[in-house]
Amino acid sequence: MIQLEGIGLTYPGHPAPVQALQGVNLQVRAGEVFGVIGRSGAGKSSLVRVINLLNRPSSGRVQVDGADLTTLSAPELRQARHRIGMIFQHFNLLSSRSVFDNVALPLQLVGERPALIKRRVDELLDLVGLYELRHRYPAQISGGQKQRVGIARALACKPKVLLSDEATSALDPETTRSILVLLRQINRDFGLTIVLITHQMQVIKQVADRVAVMDAGQIVEQGAVIDVFTNPQHATTRSLIDDILPQALPAGVIARIRQLMAGEPDNRGRLLRLAFSGDDSNQPLLSDVIRRFGLDINILHGQIDDIQGQLFGTLAVHARGAHVQLSAAVAHLRGAGVLVAEEELSHV
Contact 215, 39 (CB under 8 A): yes
Helix/strand/coil for 220 = strand
What mean pLDDT is predicted for residues 316-320? 88
Residues of the chain with CATH 3.30.70.260: 251-347
Compute the half-sphere exposure of residue 196: CA atoms within 13 Å on the CB side of its CA.
31
Pairing verdict, β 18-28 and 59-64: unpaired
pLDDT by residue (tens digit) across 147-183? 999 999 999 999 999 999 988 888 888 999 999 999 9
Residues of the chain with CATH 3.40.50.300: 2-233
| Cα–Cα distance measured from residue 196 to residue 37, given in angstroms and rounded to the nearest whole number | 8
Angle at 249 between CA 245 and CA 321, to 5 degrees: 120
| Cα–Cα distance measured from residue 139 to residue 141, given in angstroms and rounded to the nearest whole number | 6
Amino acid at 328: A
CATH no. for 2-233: 3.40.50.300
What mean pLDDT is predicted for residues 19-37? 95
CATH of 251-347, one of 3.40.50.720, 3.30.70.260, 3.40.350.10, 3.40.190.10: 3.30.70.260
Q: According to DSSP H, which parts of the chain are helical? A: 44-51, 74-81, 99-109, 114-127, 143-154, 173-190, 201-207, 225-230, 235-242, 251-260, 285-293, 323-335
Percent above pLDDT 70 for the chain: 95
pLDDT by residue (tens digit) across 97-148? 999 999 999 999 989 999 999 999 999 999 999 999 999 999 999 999 999 9
- Angstrom CA distances, 142 to 94, 148, 190, stand at 15, 10, 26
Backbone angles phi, psi at 89, to 5 degrees: -60, -45
pLDDT of residue 344: 56
| Cα–Cα distance measured from residue 211 to residue 174, given in angstroms and rounded to the nearest whole number | 23
Query: CA nearest 48: which of 226, 241, 214?
Result: 214
Backbone angles phi, psi at 338, to 5 degrees: -85, 135
pLDDT by residue (tens digit) across 216-240? 999 999 999 988 888 888 999 988 9
Looking at per-residue pLDDT, the higher value among 73 and 248 belongs to 73
* Cβ-based neighbour number of residue 323 at 10 Å: 10
Average pLDDT, the chain: 89
| Cα–Cα distance measured from residue 21 to residue 8, given in angstroms and rounded to the nearest whole number | 5
pLDDT by residue (tens digit) across 233-271? 899 998 898 877 777 777 777 787 777 777 655 667 788
Helix/strand/coil for 334 = helix
pLDDT of residue 348: 46
Please check the confidence at residue 321 and state whether its pLDDT lies above 90. no
Please check the confidence at residue 346 and state whether its pLDDT lies above 60. no
Please check the confidence at residue 286 and state whether its pLDDT lies above 80. yes
Amino acid at 144: G
Angle at 199 between CA 198 and CA 202, to 5 degrees: 85
Least confident of 1-10, 274-283, 333-342: 274-283
What mean pLDDT is predicted for residues 15-39? 93
* Cβ-based neighbour number of residue 166 at 10 Å: 19
